[in-house]
Structure 1
């Protein structure tokens, strides 16, 4: 049974220490996207790793945490202005409706955007239905 989500939902990203962060549900976007304030690909012990900082405006205290992974790819995406760009893509755990699942996020500078996190069709499909007249339905289910 698919759960119903609203146009904005609070999600938890435990690997990134982000709890109940507001995310915009965007059925026009294919992949999820999160604001990234620092991004560097470098070689460590002969292996390439990606170092990055993810940040949601309401969690400024985590702004200096640098995450690292060797499990990443690059993806060509169209940004909100319709221009193609290459972004790094990483996977992380997401918690919604007290359920935990793995999801992919592209990392990009969203500092000029209203929403620091977008949830796209790839994560929504097969899992959720969207009711655009509602917000924070996942939060209400856990109360």
Structure 2
């Protein structure tokens, strides 16, 4: 049986609980295969025999002011918004949207000049969401409405 798809707008607000980053503005991008997250100072480091990936999130958009080190990552080539192919690292982490936690992949990109530090792409959207570009922040609105209802019931 097919389940119904959640309507998502052109933008929203999400949490990345494993990275300690909350209320992050995101742009929905059905043209992007993989979701991407703005990072800086992305580099490989060697810890003994193991190679790890170190990166920093966008503290100007409210991210923790610390570096993150992950053991599990992959390297891929992505065509950027200019059509140019570039090497990127991809990590997996959980995103919280519409009250649900979803483990998904994010390519680590330099989005410094972009308004939104995170893009949500097709791999995350597929079989979960239907995009209504006339709407925005539906997940954030739904959670805030539910919170108001709970408080009025008390």
Q: TM-score, normalised by structure 2?
A: 0.88
Equivalence for 1:94: 95
Count of aligned pairs:
141
Equivalence for 2:127: 126
**Distance (Å, rounded) in 2 between the aligned partners of 1:140 and 1:113:** 23
Matched, 1:15 2:56: no
**Distance (Å, rounded) in 2 between the aligned partners of 1:52 and 1:7:** 27
CA contact (8 A) 1:11 1:19 kept: yes
The secondary structure found in structure 2 opposite 1:123 is helix
Matched, 1:141 2:126: no
How many Å apart are 1:20 and its aligned residue? Answer: 1.4
Question: Which consecutive residues of structure 1, in runs of 5 or more, have no partner in the other structure?
Answer: none
CA contact (8 A) 1:56 1:116 kept: no
* Higher percent of residues as helix: 2
Equivalence for 1:37: 40
**Distance (Å, rounded) in 2 between the aligned partners of 1:126 and 1:139:** 20
TM-align CA RMSD: 1.1
Deviations 1:1-58 (A, max 9, x none): 2110000010100111111110000011000011111111011021000011121633
**Distance (Å, rounded) in 1 between the aligned partners of 2:98 and 2:111:** 26
**Distance (Å, rounded) in 1 between the aligned partners of 2:59 and 2:37:** 8
The secondary structure found in structure 2 opposite 1:53 is strand
